[in-house]
Amino acid sequence: MMDWLRGIAAVWVTLFHFNQVISYELNWWQAFCKPGYLGVPAFFVISGWCMGALAQRKPQARWFLGARLVRILVPY
């Protein structure tokens, strides 16, 4: 569920940025995309909550960092 909310926030920010190159006309699409900048703080708040939840499941810092490194480095 949290990944979906983070995805929606990221897409909203992307739409906000793509919409900046379009000439401004007052319509429903512009009104929808205009507050897209709010997706950035929403994304970071949700990400912080997810990191906190993960940190509680792995109580020692080395386990937490080890799990993060494995998750990040394995695809590379």
Query: Which pLDDT tens digit goes with each residue over 46-56?
Result: 988 988 887 78
**Residues 6 or more apart in contact with residue 29 via CB below 8 angstroms:** 19
**Domain that includes residue 39, residue range:** 2-73
Q: How many domains, the chain?
A: 1
How far is the C-alpha of 29 from the C-alpha of 60, rounded, in Å?
Answer: 47
Q: Which residue has the higher pLDDT, 69 or 68?
A: 69
pLDDT at 11 (0 to 100): 92
End-to-end CA separation in angstroms for the chain: 26
Q: What is the pLDDT of residue 59?
A: 73
Query: Is the pTM of the predicted complex or chain greater than 0.75?
Result: no
| pLDDT of 61 above 90 | no
